[in-house]
Amino acid sequence: MNLNAVNLIFLHELIHFLLTSLIALFFWHRFKDKRLILVIFFFGFFIDIDHWFDYFAHFGLVINLKNFFNVASYVHQSGKVYIPLHGWEWLPIFWLTGKLIGRKIRMKGLEWAISFSYLGHLLWDNFSFSHHLLAYSFIFRLINNFSLKSFSGF
């Protein structure tokens, strides 16, 4: 694995972390509810856990962090990009779910905390990589059998 790739992944994730932190600070200041901070970090930063799906789809249930952080070792070899939690279609679903759960547990701003943190994550991903215009649509990837070729726009 090349050191530049590791540095780029680290920088990319650091920016996710910083954006998520800013969103969490805003929502904590606005609603004074520490629970929102956890929700925001889940949807703004830890949503990247779905990259493990791509890794396991290629390597099986073998964990090797060197291979995991070398995305080319499984995405390019498999020719697939799944990332199931990365999709614009999830935004209204997450908002509605947050609205319903927020009412039930009396947590003001939950739907907006979820939506803004998730939106921040997708926007950063969207502007960070060269890809097809619809690559961050789960439905587009599904229709194209999650092919790397359609994701990349080649």
Q: What is the overall mean pLDDT for the chain?
A: 94
Mean pLDDT in residue range 109-138: 95
pLDDT of 44 higher than 70: yes
Triad 123, 126, 131: Cα angle to 5°: 170
Rounded distance between C-alpha atoms, residue 3 and residue 48, angstroms: 21
Give residue-wise pLDDT tens across range 45-96. 999 999 999 999 999 999 999 899 888 889 999 999 999 999 999 999 999 9
Look at residue 9 in the predicted model and tell me its pLDDT. Answer: 87
Report yes or no: 122 and 86 within 8 Å, Cβ to Cβ. Answer: yes
Kindly write down the DSSP assignment for every residue of 18-53, as one continuous string: HHHHHHHHHHHHHH--HHHHHHHHHHHTGGGGGHHH
In the chain, where the domains are located: 3-152
Rounded distance between C-alpha atoms, residue 50 and residue 148, angstroms: 16
Segments in 45-81 forming alpha helices (H): 51-59, 65-69, 75-78
pTM given for the model: 0.93
pLDDT of 136 higher than 90: yes
Q: Which residues in 5-24 are b (16+ Cβ under 10 Å) and which e?
A: eeeeeeeeeeebeebbeebb
Look at residue 23 in the predicted model and tell me its pLDDT. Answer: 98
Residue 80 DSSP SS3: strand
Look at residue 119 in the predicted model and tell me its pLDDT. Answer: 98
Q: Which residue has the higher pLDDT, 129 or 109?
A: 109
